[in-house]
Amino acid sequence: MVTAKEIMSKSVLTVDKDMTLNEVIKMLVRERVTGLPVIDDEMCLLGMVTEKDILKMLYNKEKSKTVQELMTRDVVKFDEEDDLINIFKCLVNNSFRRVPVMSKGRLVGIISRRDIIKFLSRKVG
């Protein structure tokens, strides 16, 4: 069994709930990522903010000012000991591109579709 901790990205870019949307948009563009975990001071996961969240806000002409107002709070997450097959199934069956990886209630990594593809490319030669 391959576990989440074996393939997760451990250096996770994160944002604070009080960051402005302008700051987050700049970070998404600069870092070339499509979504970021929102954490508190103890690395507890509060939610995720994605390009899709920002586009929805603009499309609906909402006026969110901070990440906290915009983030998705009900986030699918996995434990670092979870089987990669379960994460693979989750990413295939849902529209999101990444899932946070937790250990003892704290964010310790993230697994994206790309991480799984990289892992598979090493296995097939």
Q: Closest Cα to residue 17, out of 48, 42, 51?
A: 48
* CATH, residue 45: 3.10.580.10
Residues 6+ apart with CB under 8 A from 99: 75, 76, 77, 78, 87, 90, 91, 110, 111
**Which residue has tokens 């990205």?**
9
Question: If you average pLDDT over every residue of the chain, what do you get?
Answer: 92
Q: What is the pLDDT of residues 15-50, one digit of tens each?
A: 999 998 889 999 999 999 999 999 999 999 999 999
- Structural domains in the chain (count): 1
- CA–CA separation, 99 and 87 (whole Å): 8
97 secondary structure, DSSP code: S
Whether the pLDDT of residue 125 is over 70: the answer is: no
Domain enclosing residue 116, as ranges: 4-124
Whether 71 and 38 have beta carbons less than 8 Å apart is answered as yes
pLDDT tens for 49-93 read 999 999 888 888 877 778 998 899 999 999 999 999 999 999 999
